Structure 1
Amino acid sequence: MRAIIPVAGIGTRLKPHTHSTPKALLNVGGKPIIAHILDKLLEEGINKATFVIGYLGDMIKEYVEKKYPSVKTSFVEQEKMEGLGHAIYTAIPTFDDDEIFIILGDTIFDVNLKEVFKNKISSLGVKEVEDSRRFGVAVVKNGFIEKLVEKPQTPISNLALVGLYYVSNRRVLVDSLNELVKKDIRTKGELQLTDALQIMIDKGEKVTTFPVDGWYDCGKPETLLLTNQYLLSRKSFFKPRENVVINQPVFIAEDADVTNSIIGPYATISSGCKIKECIIKNSIIDSNSYVEKALLDNSIIGSNSFVRGAYKRLNSGDSSEVDFY
């Protein structure tokens, strides 16, 4: 089986972090998003992967080849951002297995894929949501998908597609992607993967759904921090340090220099960081950053950053009320 991982997007909603770092390499829970994805794929026995790259793609290629030499990788460039369907279309030359597993490059997931793969029936990961207008959705009848709709303004289903697509018949997928591009079938101005999958269904391909309760989006600052919370709640990593109070769960890299500080809960301190006289919680401090005398909450600090706060001097009388912003 080959995994297809589209990571060509610019990551507009995560600026300024994505000005210099591709979204897939942003740190969450102690390692880049793409590392969580690849670790899960290897755990499920998938060791072949195609990366659809674009913006800052060389950084992704360098990281994957260095950190995951056991993965048989291919890299294809999506020169124009014309939608997810177009991204997968560009990867067709690398399809060398009958079974294809597509996973979005900004999604961390927790689901038993072996149960999905063993049935040899194409299946899409879904999660029940209250407001389906922000998602592609699946309309299911008698256990099989009847219709796929991209971000419906009128709710027709609460089963949101979460970015996991298992296709058991690569030939049908290839034919559908070719038809999508040849006929220039667009939804909201883009060549959508949901439209290609709908072509498959219309041609008679049976497609089911599988529930994904553990679905963690990393596409916005607030969801990146929520995903950081989830990952740390599963596994805390740190070594005790003198004059440092650690409120678990946290991730503190072994080589991070942390002194006279309170760290956590839900704080990620990456490799090469120097933290001095700080209180940091629910935040991500990326690699090689220096933070001193700072009180941080719900914060994301990019790599190689320098942050210095300051103590305040007060001389306040009785019944005073003082706020710092």
Structure 2
Amino acid sequence: MQTVILAAGEGTRMRPLTETTPKPMLPVADRPLAAHTADVAVEAGASELVFVVGYEADAVRAYFGDEYRGVPVTYAVQETQAGTADAVRAARPHLDGDFAVLNGDNLYDGDSIAALFDDGPAIAARRVDDPSSYGVLSTEGDRVTGIVEKPADPPTDLANAGAYVFPDAAREWLDVPESERGEYEITDVVARVVDAFDVTAVELDRWLDVGRPWELLAANEWKLGEMERDVAGDVAADADLRGTVVVQQGATVEPGVVVEGPVLIRSGAEVGPNAYVRGATMLGEDVHVGQSVELKNTVVREGTNVPHLSYVGDSVLGREANLGAGTTVANLRHDDEPVRLTVKGERVSTGRRKFGIVVGDGAKTGIDTTLNAGVTLSTGARTRPGETVTRDR
């Protein structure tokens, strides 16, 4: 089955991380986010992957090429950010027959996507505690009878998980009217399919929509937790590696280091001496972690330095950043309320009791900088030595 992977979103809720990296190419464990979507599609039996791309086209093409895991890859360009139906419409010239649609910024469990492919026409759903903030499926048995957007009185607790198998006829139904939001919505296409076909609701065992920085942490927690221990790099004899730890070829772990998995240390990264790294942490290529640094549940992107005597927890650090010696990150509020973070200019709850900071590419902190929980450092930001940072910079 041809599978359309939507990968053209601008990722504005993930800024500053997406100012220089397209959201589908942000790292989740050892590969980009969109590669996990592609993996479940291939394992479910995709005959072709059709990536819908936008400004990030070059980065996606460079990674996936013309073939991915033995499956041919095609690209369709969405010229404007005009909704999900518009994105699928960009792929229409490449489609012939029934087709699947997956979001390139979602994580799905593979068995459920295989069931979705087998049961088409079908819509993926996930049971949630508060469905009122989602599109919600109405059903009769396992048959979908409709989708209601963010209802005050939800008909079920089945949230629309944004994965579909459409019949061939749906290719001609993509020309939907513009919605009140000024977009062309895939749910309007779904409504026509539901009216004309028996559409199955397939419940996902696991699903994560990765749209904001703390969800990138959650994505890495999920995928790092699925790794198997593999120590191929240069590890000192007295380093202590506990649990699921992957040290790739070309990485170095120096004397006195303690690593508690799940942790991934990618090629070219250097850790230690006497550093303490604990899960779920991903150290990207050519990352340097210095003497007596403690890292916990953190994504550190390629080329970034966290030198001696620093602490970073529950954070996302962009590429080529540098934390001055003695930089300390707070990751817990004194009132134990969830940490709040700025998303598109508004302070919103992360839903996480522990969350540290988000650091854009090329940002630098002066020595002995202290950063409050929920602070964002923009791309190229600077702090002064000894500064306490309580607001976004």
Q: Per the shorter chain, which TM-score range?
A: 0.7 to 0.9
Are 1:302 and 2:295 counterparts?
A: no
Deviates more, 1:104-113 or 1:235-244: 235-244
SS in 2 for 1:238: strand
The one of 175, 185, 188 equivalent to 1:192 is 185
Shift of 1:94: 0.7
What is the distance in 2 between the residues matched to 1:6 and 1:71?
Answer: 17
Shift of 1:30: 2.7
Report which structure shows greater RCO (CA 8 Å, sep ≥6).
Answer: 1
Q: From the superposition, tell whether residues 191 and 221 of structure 1 become closer, same or farther in structure 2 (CA, over 3 Å).
A: same
Q: Hey, what does 2:49 align to over in structure 1? A: 49
The one of 265, 270, 279 equivalent to 1:257 is 270
CA contact (8 A) 2:300 2:318 kept: yes
Following TM superposition, the consecutive aligned residue runs of length 4 or more in structure 1 with deviations greater than 6 angstroms are none
Q: After the TM superposition, which residues 284-303 of structure 1 pair with which residues of structure 2 at under 5 Å, given as runs?
A: 284-293=299-308, 294-303=310-319
Are 1:283 and 2:298 counterparts?
A: yes
CA contact (8 A) 2:135 2:148 kept: yes
Q: Hey, what does 2:359 align to over in structure 1? A: none
What is the distance in 1 between the residues matched to 2:45 and 2:211?
Answer: 26
SS in 2 for 1:209: strand
What is the distance in 2 between the residues matched to 1:115 and 1:104?
Answer: 17
CA contact (8 A) 2:131 2:150 kept: yes
CA contact (8 A) 1:244 1:262 kept: yes
Q: From the superposition, tell whether residues 187 and 104 of structure 1 become closer, same or farther in structure 2 (CA, over 3 Å).
A: farther
Are 1:176 and 2:197 counterparts?
A: no
The one of 199, 207, 217 equivalent to 2:199 is 207
Q: After the TM superposition, which residues 1-325 of structure 1 pair with which residues of structure 2 at under 5 Å, given as runs?
A: 1-65=1-65, 68=68, 70-96=70-96, 98-112=97-111, 113-119=113-119, 121-167=120-166, 169-170=167-168, 172-178=169-175, 180=176, 184-202=177-195, 204-235=196-227, 236-239=244-247, 241=253, 242-260=255-273, 261-277=275-291, 278-293=293-308, 294-310=310-326
Matched letter for residue 124 of structure 1: I
Q: Which runs of 5+ in 2 are unaligned?
A: 228-243, 329-369, 372-393
Q: From the superposition, tell whether residues 16 and 67 of structure 1 become closer, same or farther in structure 2 (CA, over 3 Å).
A: farther
What is the distance in 2 between the residues matched to 1:28 and 1:35?
Answer: 9
CA contact (8 A) 2:272 2:289 kept: yes
Higher helix share: 1
Q: Hey, what does 1:318 align to over in structure 2? A: none
Q: From the superposition, tell whether residues 67 and 122 of structure 1 become closer, same or farther in structure 2 (CA, over 3 Å).
A: closer
What is the distance in 2 between the residues matched to 1:14 and 1:248?
Answer: 26
CA contact (8 A) 1:3 1:103 kept: yes
SS in 2 for 1:288: coil
Identity, % of aligned pairs?
27
Matched letter for residue 271 of structure 1: E
Q: From the superposition, tell whether residues 149 and 225 of structure 1 become closer, same or farther in structure 2 (CA, over 3 Å).
A: same
**Cα deviation code 1:230-253 (max 9, x no counterpart):** 212221442383321101111111
**Cα deviation code 1:295-324 (max 9, x no counterpart):** 111111112222223279xxxxxxxxxxx7
CA contact (8 A) 2:85 2:185 kept: yes
**Cα deviation code 1:210-241 (max 9, x no counterpart):** 11021122111111111211212221442383
Shift of 1:57: 2.0
Matched letter for residue 194 of structure 2: I
What is the distance in 2 between the residues matched to 1:271 and 1:143?
Answer: 45
Q: TM-score under structure 2 normalisation? A: 0.73
CA contact (8 A) 1:127 1:212 kept: yes
Deviates more, 1:55-64 or 1:38-47: 38-47
Shift of 1:268: 0.4
Shift of 1:66: 7.9
Matched letter for residue 141 of structure 2: N
Q: Hey, what does 1:321 align to over in structure 2? A: none
What is the distance in 2 between the residues matched to 1:248 and 1:144?
Answer: 42
Q: From the superposition, tell whether residues 238 and 114 of structure 1 become closer, same or farther in structure 2 (CA, over 3 Å).
A: closer
